Amino acid sequence: MFWLLWGDFFFQLMESLPALIPLQLRWEGASDTTIGWINSLPALTGFFLYPIAGVQSDRHRGRLGRRRPFLLWCTAPVVLGLVLLGAAKPAGKLLHDVFVRFGSTDLTAAGCTIAWIALCVAIFVIFNAYVVQVFSCLVVDVIPQKVLGTYYGLYRAVGALGNLVFNRWILGWGETHTFHVYFLVGLLYAVAFYLIVWRVKEGAYPPPPPRNEANLGWRMIPVYFRECFSQRLHLNYYLINFCFWGAGVPLSFLVFFATRAGQPDYAPTLGLTLDQFGEIKGWTYLITIPIYFLSGPVIDRFGALRLSVAGLIMTSLSYFCGYWFVQGATSLQIWWCVNQCVMAVHLVAICTVATLVLPRDKFGQFVSANVAFGFVSIGILHPLVGWILESVRDYRYIYLLCGGFSGLASVACLLLKMHWEKLAREAAVAGADGTATAPKPG
């Protein structure tokens, strides 16, 4: 548990780095729609790679287990992608000079930099898809079910601490020391994950299902879809994340509403510096840490689904309040902290919900199906949100978009809770007849 939490701190530090990508694109003059399309690359890539990563790690057996080999081989390419992103500005200029030398005068240095960023994002997300998928499955493989709620509370708290460190003390350096920020965070992340590979030992696994013509190559695709998308319980769970992940898409543009990076012909922004924005965002993570610590034991005692529904409803309301009441730095900090506190309840609870409703023997496969659902939402909404913001020319509408999708997620979670309780009642009746054992209500 210690080494997984240690790795999570630096993992969240690394996962905070993509917050710089919209800024890097805006500094080169990219439009909101262009930023949206490039931000959709992780979703479009992950949609195809997460199912492959989940199935491959479920079936793999080796000296290091079934999860750690993927962490071992994919960490280095992730770091390489980050370092290349950090070097985007000089690399774009160098690329432009090469094209000019060969007689091309149509391209600009800014355009070459934007293309370089898009290419590096693709390299990063291809290998990070394996890391994210396998790391989440490793947790379920090595942490006992009875303390998973407590672990996920600690996991979210440590992750919030990593986000706090990045936004409070690192983000402000992103504009003037871009390469140094990417390089340092990438190096720390690599050390942490190689320590996980070394120190975390996986247990014994039963042998994977025998390979046959039905589960090889392209013939595996209909089997995958039949297993993952044939049960209403699983589809209900996927729908929660489809809507909730969609609610997070407009937030990638919040930095433009808060800082001076907004477009000149848009509605006025709050006019903060990047350092001030990072400090405010850092506070939103700091204040959630005690909530993450408290949520784990509460979920273990009272049930994850109940708290997930409550957290989503309050999250939606907090976004709508942000639309009406955020007028400056102080109100932004207040309502963002409120939003993150109530969201923290859902984030811890939904991790435990996954272990309740998804089969353990094919957990990676079903997690990949859930993530693919979420990536569809992100892939569609990033360019769509960029287009909407270009149309309304007011970044304040971010809050309405986030609130609407969070509200849909709360409805989906309530439907899952009702369906789960119905299954529990049916299993209880069958158990009374000696034919089944009732699942524990969530």
State whether the Cα torsion 374-375-377-382 is positive or negative.
positive
Taking 3-state DSSP, the helix, strand and coil percentages for the chain, each rounded to the nearest 5, stand at: 80, 0, 20
C-beta separation of 104 from 24 below 8 A: no
Dist CA 322 CA 244 (whole Å): 17
165 CB-near residues (< 8 Å, 6+ apart): 13, 282
List, in order, residues 6 or more apart from 154 with CB less than 8 Å away. 1, 5, 292, 293, 296
Pick from 293, 400, 395: which is nearest to 348 by CA?
293
Task: From residue 366, give the alpha-carbon distance in Å to each of 19, 58, 73, 357, 404.
Answer: 28, 10, 23, 10, 27
The model carries a pTM of 0.77
Residue 325 CB partners (closer than 8 Å, separation 6+): 331, 335
Residue length, the chain?
442
The residue among 199, 188, 212 whose CA lies nearest residue 65 is 199
Residues 8 and 292: beta-carbon distance below 8 Å? no
Q: Report helix, strand or coil for 439.
A: coil
Domain parsing of the chain, residue ranges: 2-201+231-432
**DSSP secondary structure string for all residues of 67-122:** THHHHHHHHHHHHHHHHHHHTHHHHHHHHHHHHHHTT--S--HHHHHHHHHHHHHH
The pLDDT score that the predictor gives to residue 433 is 58
Q: What is the number of alpha carbons within 13 Å of residue 404 lying toward its C-beta?
A: 8
DSSP 354-405: HHHHS-STTHHHHHHHHHHHHHHHHHHHHHHHHHHHHHH--TTHHHHHHHHH
Kindly report the backbone phi and psi dihedral angles of residue 268, in degrees, each rounded to the nearest multiple of 5, phi listed first: -60, 145
From residue 176, alpha-carbon distances to 397, 400, 429 in Å are 30, 33, 65
What's the fold here for domain 2-201+231-432?
Answer: Growth Hormone; Chain: A; (1.20.1250)
In this structure, what is the dihedral angle of CA atoms 326, 328, 334, 340, given to the nearest 10 degrees? 70
Residue 433 CA to residue 427 CA, distance in Å, equals: 10
pLDDT means over runs of 10, the chain (442 residues): 93 91 92 89 78 81 90 95 95 91 83 94 90 89 83 84 89 91 96 95 82 55 83 92 93 90 80 90 89 78 86 96 95 95 90 84 82 85 92 94 96 93 82 51 44
Structure confidence at residue 442 (pLDDT): 45
Under 8 Å between Cβ of 40 and 110: no
Task: Note whether 410 and 230 are within 8 A (CB).
Answer: no
Q: Is 179:87 a contact under the CB 8 Å cutoff?
A: yes
Query: Which among 384, 355, 337 is positioned nearest to 150, based on CA atoms?
Result: 355
What is the structure's pLDDT at 438?
Answer: 43
State the Cα–Cα distance between residues 14 and 251, nearest whole angstrom.
18
Q: What is the pLDDT of residues 40-92, one digit of tens each?
A: 887 777 777 877 887 788 888 888 899 999 999 999 999 999 999 999 999 99
Query: Which of 241, 226, 215, 234 shows the shortest CA–CA distance to 372?
Result: 241
Q: Is 350 exposed, middle or buried (0-12, 13-18, 19+ CB in 10 A)?
A: buried
Burial class of residue 218 (count of CB atoms within 10 Å of its CB; 0-12, 13-18, 19+): exposed
